[in-house]
Amino acid sequence: MSSDVIIGHDGKPRCGWVGAGDTALGRYHDEVWGRRTHDEPALFEALTLGVFEVGLSWSIVFGKRDAFRKAFLGFDVAKVAALTARDVDRLVEDASIIRNRGKIQATVDNARAMMSASPSLVALAKSYEINRKRAPRSVADLPKSTPQAEAFAKQLKSQGYRLRHSSPERTEGSVLRPPVNSSPPAIRSGSARATTHAVSRRPTRPAPDSFGST
């Protein structure tokens, strides 16, 4: 068996970066990674978790997924866009999520951008969708970035989205690429699981960003 594949705690094969235990990272692998979606709340969730992941480990952020869903109203874009400064103050005190005011405000700002952007995030993701002729045979085959990812990131920024300041990761695609050392980035300068089918890139350590790390 390739070193890129391991047998998990339940006897199922998984990508090696997941580890063998029953962890949030394993659930992320099974439920999210590499799965195409055009669902608006799912794209908004991916965008949001990517913003919160900056400077932290992906396993920590994904482990708080249910709490984020509750805090951000099921990632209903219209409801999050309507949150007020008082709501942001309340969320800063919510110990179940990552209490970073800049990241919380960025999430509200991104919801407002989604409400006004044209083309919509869903339409934009579809337009950058990649259909692979064959699946990558190993993690080493995953590109660090693609022209489509860079273009997608640039267009999202031009529409007012607040994203991390570094190269795009899972951009028009799936939901992300494989993490390394439990600190995979979710969405970098422009990806938004925001998206549809993975343009995965091989992960690197997160770069500094304007939102801070806690």
Sequential DSSP letters for the chain: --TTEEE-TTS-EEEGGG-SSS-HHHHHHHHTTT-----HHHHHHHHHHHHHHTTS-HHHHHHTHHHHHHHTGGG-HHHHHT--HHHHHHHHT-TTS---HHHHHHHHHHHHHHHH-SS-HHHHHHHT----SS--SSGGGS-S--HHHHHHHHHHHHTT----SS---S-SSSS----STT---S--SS--S-SSS-------PPPP-TT---
- Return the pLDDT at 195: 33
pLDDT tens track, the chain, 214 positions = 566 888 988 888 888 888 888 888 888 888 888 788 889 999 999 999 989 998 998 889 989 999 999 999 999 999 999 999 999 999 999 999 999 999 999 999 999 999 999 999 999 888 888 777 777 777 777 777 788 888 888 999 999 999 863 333 333 333 334 443 333 333 333 333 333 232 223 333 333 333 443 3
- Return the pLDDT at 5: 85
For 5-158, CATH gives: 1.10.340.30
- Return the pLDDT at 109: 96
| Structural domain spans, the chain | 5-158
Amino acid at 134: R
- Return the pLDDT at 1: 53
- Return the pLDDT at 203: 35
What the block records as the tokens of 75 is: 């990632």
- Return the pLDDT at 176: 38
